[in-house]
Amino acid sequence: MSITHQNEPASNELRETLTSTEPNCLRTMTTSMAVLSKSAGSYHFTPEGRKLADFTSGVLVANIGHNPKRWWKKVWKLMSLDDIDDGDGYHEGVTLTSYNAVTPVEMEANRRLLANMQAQPGGKRMEQVLWAASGSEAIQKGLWASMARREGQDIILATRGGFHGKKGLAGAVTGSETDSERDPRVRFISFPKEECSTLQKRKEPIDLAPYRAELEALKEEFGDRICCLITEPYLGGGGSYHPHKEYMQMLESFCRENDIIFILDEIQANFGRTGSMYAFTEYGVEPDLVALGKGMGNGIPVDAIVGRSDLFGAMGYGAGSDTWSAHPLGCASVIATLDEFEQTDVMEQAAGLSKIIEESLVRLCELPAISAVRGEGTVWGIECTAVGEHSAEEVAHELVRRCYVGNDEGKAIHLLGPLAGKVVRIAPPLTMDHGEARDYFQVLHEIAAGLS
């Protein structure tokens, strides 16, 4: 049975088609199942013409907003598609099939991305780009490169509760040892969830000794077999846990001391989310490999693992190749997105928005349905709690549904299904207008208050 909403005949019809033509597994569960016919800036529009403020940026993708005109024009120009006439025949545009060949747009994207990363504090090791067609694939390629370095180095350390994708090795480093069918090459280490479970706790000093001891024990057990350590700057899919900088720096030090490759998965953090262009700057670390995706193409699918050329050099011809990686359209979107970050004040806008989000969300903690809020920059999580007979999970799903339906004035908010069961993520485009953001956070408060 498909999800339906009142007064949405066109959307409901499409939801029914969805149920009969696609398996449920293609989506994660959400009570809104929004049908989005158009998007502009910080808003989506349903087929009925209803406007939804986007508090998700897709899934942390549209960092500079949906369909920015200047950005699109740049993408078309880079693809030589800006002057297609109305006639029949063929247009001389950039090729869409560059497999086993090279395009100028790809080389320009490499040059621009590497220059941008190397210019950041901590970006010194960003020497080469290994493009990928999804985030999972970027992770997989980064882990392959790490394992190819020296024979017999097959042990991967990953932070427990992380999310790096569902496929292949990316799935193997996601979650924890209690999940079924674990890959024996992956060993999990603790991520400080308790110490950063509230904004207040994150401000208190952290005792790193137990975390360090865990690493030392693994070193003792596996010695030189450990090839790499992979972590996220913050646990995103794991429920929005943003660690102390010292924790990240301790992981990096352990890697340096033991010649272990330090991989930072910035697929959802990159391009401004945490308040810096890349989270490695925010956390004061210098990774060997950084996984990029989502916001990097602002909606065009493009991902990459970027870093030390000696690591990629251990992989021979073809070991990292596939049909779509380094697709010219993806490369063009990266250049156009970099232009916006380098030539406009998007990061200042994001800093202002971050303050508004923090102030607004902290107020939510007064409500019976909300137990905590956590976040940084423009990526936050609202943890719901049980109310009456309703579990925390039910409350979170209901919050998403009610926000989609909107308040009495018809103001509605698009949210994604909860993370880790009960955490609703707030991650609007970095460019959301500040006045409108305040208005919609008021709507969110009103709706969350109604859950009690």
Ligand X SMILES: Cc1ncc(COP(=O)(O)O)c(C=O)c1O
Contact residues toward ligand X (CB under 6 A) are 134-136, 139, 163-165, 232, 236-237, 265, 267-268, 293
Please answer whether residues 373 and 382 qualify as being in contact, where contact means their C-beta atoms are separated by less than 8 angstroms: yes
CA 272 → CA 18, 166, 294, 342, 385, distances in Å? 34, 24, 11, 11, 30
Closest distance to ligand X from the beta carbon of 141 (Å): 12
Please answer whether residues 452 and 369 qualify as being in contact, where contact means their C-beta atoms are separated by less than 8 angstroms: yes
Give residues with Cβ within 8 angstroms of 450, minimum separation 6.
Answer: 402
Q: How far apart are CA 242 and CA 375, in angstroms?
A: 6
Residue closest to ligand X (Cβ): 135
Closest distance to ligand X from the beta carbon of 149 (Å): 22
Closest-CA residue to 186 (of 150, 146, 130)? 146
Q: Of the two residues 27 and 73, which places its CB atom closer to ligand X in the complex? A: 27
Closest distance to ligand X from the beta carbon of 235 (Å): 9
Q: Of the two residues 65 and 297, which places its CB atom closer to ligand X in the complex? A: 297
Closest distance to ligand X from the beta carbon of 194 (Å): 21
Closest-CA residue to 426 (of 396, 393, 394, 450)? 396
Q: How far apart are CA 71 and CA 428, in angstroms?
A: 18
Closest distance to ligand X from the beta carbon of 217 (Å): 26
CA 23 → CA 12, 18, 28, 128, distances in Å? 17, 8, 11, 38
Please answer whether residues 161 and 193 qualify as being in contact, where contact means their C-beta atoms are separated by less than 8 angstroms: yes
Residue with tokens 């352990």: 254
Single-letter amino acid code for the residue at 203: K
Strands 289-292, 261-265: pairing kind: parallel
Closest distance to ligand X from the beta carbon of 50 (Å): 27
Closest distance to ligand X from the beta carbon of 364 (Å): 24
Q: How many residues does the chain have?
A: 452
Single-letter amino acid code for the residue at 371: S
Closest distance to ligand X from the beta carbon of 115 (Å): 24
Q: Of the two residues 106 and 232, which places its CB atom closer to ligand X in the complex? A: 232
Neighbours of 372 (CB within 10 A): 20
Closest-CA residue to 41 (of 18, 58, 23)? 58
Question: Got the DSSP string for 219-257?
Answer: HHHHGGGEEEEEE-SSBTTTT-B---HHHHHHHHHHHHH
Q: Of the two residues 364 and 426, which places its CB atom closer to ligand X in the complex? A: 426
Closest distance to ligand X from the beta carbon of 193 (Å): 16
